[in-house]
Structure 1
Amino acid sequence: MRDGGSADEQSAVRVLQLGGVRFTYVVDGALAMVPGAFFPAIPAAYWTEHPEVLDAKGRVTASAGGLLVERDGRSLLVDAGLGVATDPVEIGGEPVAFSDSGALPDTLTALGHKPEDIEAVAFTHLHVDHTGWAFVDGRKFFPAATYLVAAQEWAPHGRGELIPGAPGRAEVIEPLAGTHQVIGDGDEVFPGVHALVTPGHSPGHTSYVIEAGEQRVIAFGDVFHIPAQITHPDWPSLPDVDAAGVLAARRRIVEELERPGAIGFGIHFGDQAFGRVRRGTDGLLRWEPVEAEAVLPAPRVLGD
């Protein structure tokens, strides 16, 4: 199976082996965002000039899932996918995004893993497309796992506030109340894994830096939804709750990504989830995909 993916394709299940650590994008399903609705501040001319980043219906292709980190026989999962979802997301009667999701359990099985193998689940944030398999019928889907959430992310949920993009309280927030462990900026949440609290997209959005020998992987969640936002950090996404916070988060993550040996993991970057940030001769930053072995094809693909 080819090792180079495309930004306009849903992600294959890809593996990157670095310094004794195995990173696997455990894909849950397919996403597609309506450009003008999900990215209202991006000039229409950008999409016209870059048709290669859109699918046949003119939508921004993405995927949902989690990053499985395996080290010394122990397993951490960063995020838990979208869960079973096939209905479009609408605002004011107009579609914003489409999905075909729910494959994460089958993907784990195909990789030779069971839910009880996962020792910890570290959430980047509590939005529906990152918490989908946290609970099933009120019970932890990963029964042996410690669920890790930044204190800053949990605080408004703990006060009973309704946060845009959050999952249902009965389905996720209430069962999570008694089962999660709060973490803070800089905490080592798993061997060789440190939290970077990067609020902006959500109240306590958290990125994770995973050490792998002389290299490191930065799982930055929704700090960036698409590679173009690395080049144009002033381009927000519709679900962002704090524009100034997003800019600060992006500066912090870019600083991490420009360090020697750094590789990023963009969970919604189509079939180019692993990559490096490079500065061109024009001074602009760009996403440079890193080849990762495709061990399984994309489990779900939205039809044309």
Structure 2
Amino acid sequence: MIYRFSVGRLECVVVSDGQPQPPWEPPLDQYFTPEAGVPEDELQAAATDEGRSTLTCGYNCLFIKTSDGLAVVDTGLGASFLGYGEYIEPLVGKLEGGMAGAGFSRGDLAAVVFTHLHQDHARGATWSGEVRFPAATAYAHASEVAFWSEPLELPSALPHVDAARAAIREFGAKLQPFEHGAELLPGVHAVAATGHTPGHTALLLKSGEEQLLCVGDTFYDPLQLTHPNWATPWDLDRSSSIASRRRILEWAADERLLLHAYHLPFPGLGRVSRNGTSFTWQPVDRTEQVRRG
């Protein structure tokens, strides 16, 4: 799946690494658990209101044509992935095929920007045991690199260790740690969104009067907009993740920012509006090219 749009003079393409369909959509209660602070009765009530018990977990990788070359934000799970069970292997790892469909080759990439180093964002860059994009410089927040380089015993972090360390190891000197506030590439700015991981980063694209905010894993599902205090088992610092989510959603609603949400249904583009103390997701019309930010 490929979706083209623009942010000012920045040409953008969303390429899906996969989007499991029924019966393989994951249950809501795997993402929003009592252990993560979501009361079971509250989740059940929300699910009843929504008329669903699963969420559509997409893997939406964002390509940006900058004046310094082609960049991608996050790289999906990659091929031959079995970490969620055998069923997942044929459903993901679509990024490189999608790139070809969009007219890109692996050698075209000048930059890989990681919102964070969880396996579903980083493994696609190194799943074969080597960097899949040989000409690319990689970017990850300095705290992210430091965290995944140290010994870890947190159960929620352990599934991601191999992919995170592979990205750090395989990119080597071509991995550039950054700080929030930096302009990583022309028109691509790093925004603090910590809590999900220590260096979790949103990316603000700016060109002329137009903007797009790539939010990474700030939220997995529209239910985290109607219930912004809901965390997930993968949020390493629950309170910080909730604070980041609220701050970003308030900003996005007030400024009417166009958002790119990695895990929402393809292409993961939309805007949010306030509804009291909660928010509502408004997906873009996929039949129209997005022009305004």
- TM-score, length basis structure 2: 0.84
**Whole-Å separation in 1 of the counterparts to 2:134 and 2:287:** 29
Cα distance in 1, alignment partners of residues 95 and 19 from structure 2: 11
Does the alignment pair 1:59 with 2:54? yes
Any unmatched runs of 5+ in structure 2? none
Structure 1 window deviating more from structure 2 (249-258 vs 166-175): it is 166-175
Q: 2: distance between equivalents of 1:283 and 1:171?
A: 40
The farther-off stretch of 164-173 and 66-75 is 164-173
Alpha-carbon offset, residue 283 of structure 1:
5.2
Shift of 1:271: 3.0
**How far did 1:177 drift?**
4.4
Counterpart of 1:64, as a letter, is: Y
* Matched letter for residue 12 of structure 2: F
Give 1:166's aligned amino acid.
H
Specify the alignment match of 2:63 in structure 1: 68
Summarize deviations over 1:77-129 as a string: whole Å, max 9, x none.
Answer: 10011112564627xxxx9x956201111100011001111111110111110
Q: 1:222 aligns with which of 211, 217, 222?
A: 217
| 1:27 maps to amino acid | S
CA-based RMSD of the aligned residues comes to: 2.5
- Asked whether the 8 Å contact 1:27–1:107 carries over to 2, the reply is yes
2:43 equivalent to 1:50: no
Distance 2:288 2:102 in 1: 12
2:32 is equivalent to residue 39 of structure 1: yes
Q: 1:144 aligned to 2:135?
A: yes
1:298 corresponds in structure 2 to none
The one of the two structures with greater contact order (alpha-carbon pairs below 8 A, sep at least 6) is 1
Please give the per-residue CA displacement for 1:43-98, whole angstroms capped at 9, x wherever unaligned: 112112212xx4xxx421121141001234821110011112564627xxxx9x95
Paired with 1:151 and 1:126, the residues of 2 have a C-alpha distance of 11
Judging changes above 3 Å, is the alpha-carbon distance between structure 1 residues 201 and 167 closer, same or farther for their aligned structure 2 residues? same
- SS at the partner of 1:182? strand
3-state SS in 2 of match to 1:119: strand
**Out of 85, 89, 93, which is 2:84 matched to?**
89
Structure (1/2) with the larger helix percentage: 2
Q: In the superposition, relative to structure 1, how do residues 141 and 294 fare at CA in structure 2: closer, same or farther (>3 Å)? A: farther
1-structure distance, mates of 2:249, 2:288:
26
Percent of aligned positions that are identical: 29
1:291 aligns with 2:285: yes
Change (3 A) 1:184 1:268: same
* 8 Å CA contact 2:7, 2:212 repeated in 1: no
Q: What is the alpha-carbon distance in structure 2 between the residues aligned to residue 143 and residue 160 of structure 1?
A: 28
Task: Compare the two structures and name the one with the higher strand fraction.
Answer: 1
Which residue matches 2:97? 106
Q: In structure 2, what is the Cα distance between the partners aligned to 1:117 and 1:294?
A: 27
1:21 pairs with 10, 26, 29, which one?
10
Amino acid at match of 1:154: V
Larger mean Cα displacement after TM superposition, 103-112 or 33-42: 33-42
Matches within 5 A, 1:1-304: 12-31=1-20, 32-40=25-33, 41=38, 43-51=43-51, 54=52, 58-72=53-67, 74-85=69-80, 87=82, 89=84, 100-161=91-152, 163-168=157-162, 171-271=166-266, 273-280=268-275, 282=276, 284-293=278-287
What TM-score, normalized by structure 1, do the two folds share?
0.81
In 1, the alpha carbon distance for the partners of 2:256 and 2:10 equals 14
Q: For 2:181 and 2:264, locate their aligned partners in 1 and report how far apart those are by CA, in whole Å.
A: 26
Q: Which runs of 5+ in 1 are unaligned?
A: 1-11, 296-304
**What secondary structure does 2:145 align onto?**
helix
